[in-house]
Amino acid sequence: MQKAYSNKKIIFTLIAPGLLMFVFAILAPICLSVYYGFTDFSGLGAYQFIGFNNYKELFGDRNFWMSLRNSLLLAIGFICIQHPLAIITAALLDRMGKRAEGFFRTVYFLPNVISVAVIAYMWKFIYNPNFGLLNKMASALGFSGKTNWLGSGMAIWSVLIVLIWHGFGWGMLIYYTGIKNIDPVLYEAAAIDGADNKQTFLKITFPLMMPVIKINVTLAIISALKQMETVYLLTNGGPGNETQFLANYLYKQAFSSFRYGYGNSISVIFVIVCILATQVLNKIFPKEE
């Protein structure tokens, strides 16, 4: 066995599938993206190399910066609103009885198993100013006038609520699993020492959850930057480009404006932003917990 593992041919054969997968599914597309980012390719026919023109245009593109701002805003929303709520909910669930625990766990996770298209259209109807649930409820409570929830100025907040609500179940479930993996002996010891719920959460649950929090926050940031389907179906970036997000803007440029080269330059910046975000998180969260 030892001999086999030191045989270079065998080692290469064993890692080849993974290596090939990485080269063809990840590395090659990124390289092609970088390549096309320097062209004016429309997706059809001939194209020319235009150097850094796409990048020059990108840095002066208001809609690109708005998309990036919205994506980062969503990431902040995930970190500051969704995740604190998710971790508290997970801790509360852990303390509930078996039936209630199972019931609420299912309820909170339910939005995640519903198709994105259904979610988007459901919220579209809820937000509709003419027959939507929100305005009907407001009217039943005595408020007059119709609020345009997806209108200019309000749309970004309405979209953020949907996205934070939709992703809540995943975050909660990962935290819940993390909490379940904490040795119950620690809680018993804390209880014997007279620790209350708050102290138990802050001194035991929270510190031991740091690795899970790190993973969850990283996933949240990447998911915020990659956000596409819900926005596409809910507002498609509108009105104007007020609810435009990075991935949706990339798609719009590449497949609606048929500026494939420009879309690829956005994707290159997109990858760089993702790498930077991961590096920042690595700095924030210590490697050894």
Where do contacts with another protein occur on this chain (CB under 8 A)?
42-45, 124, 127-131, 146, 148-152, 155, 235-236, 238-242, 252, 255-259
β-sheet bridge partners, residue 49: 39
Round to whole Å and give the CA distance between 209 and 178. Answer: 6
The gap between the terminal CA atoms of the chain, to the nearest Å, is 35
Per DSSP, the three-state class of 129 is coil
What's the rounded Cα separation, in Å, for the pair 218 and 214?
Answer: 6
Q: Which is nearer to another protein, 146 or 214 (CB)?
A: 146
- CB 148, min distance to another protein, A: 5
CA distances from 118 to 46, 106, 135, 189, 233 (A): 40, 18, 20, 47, 9
Distances (CA, A) of 175 to 52, 203, 255: 44, 16, 37
Closest distance to another protein from the beta carbon of 136 (Å): 13
| Closer residue to another protein in complex, CB, 28/280 | 28
Q: What amino acid is encoded at 233 in this protein?
A: L
- Smallest separation, CB 251 to another protein (Å): 9
Here the tokens at position 126 are 């809820």
Task: Report the residue number, 63 or 223, with the smaller CB distance to another protein.
Answer: 63
To the nearest whole angstrom, how small is the minimum distance from the Cβ of residue 25 to another protein?
18
Three-state SS for 150?
coil
Across the strands, what pairs with 39?
49
* C-beta closer to another protein: residue 206 or 255: 255
**Rounded to whole angstroms, how far apart are CA atoms 97 and 77?**
31
Give the nearer residue to another protein in terms of CB position, either 48 or 106. 48
Q: How far is the CB of 129 from another protein (least distance, A)?
A: 4
Task: Name which of 12 and 125 has its Cβ closer to another protein.
Answer: 125
Residue 132 backbone dihedrals phi, psi, to 5 degrees = -75, 155
CA distance 90 to 105: 8
Shortest reach from residue 75's CB to another protein, in Å: 24
Instruction: Please state the closest distance from residue 44 (CB atom) to another protein, in A.
Output: 4
Q: Which is nearer to another protein, 87 or 231 (CB)?
A: 231
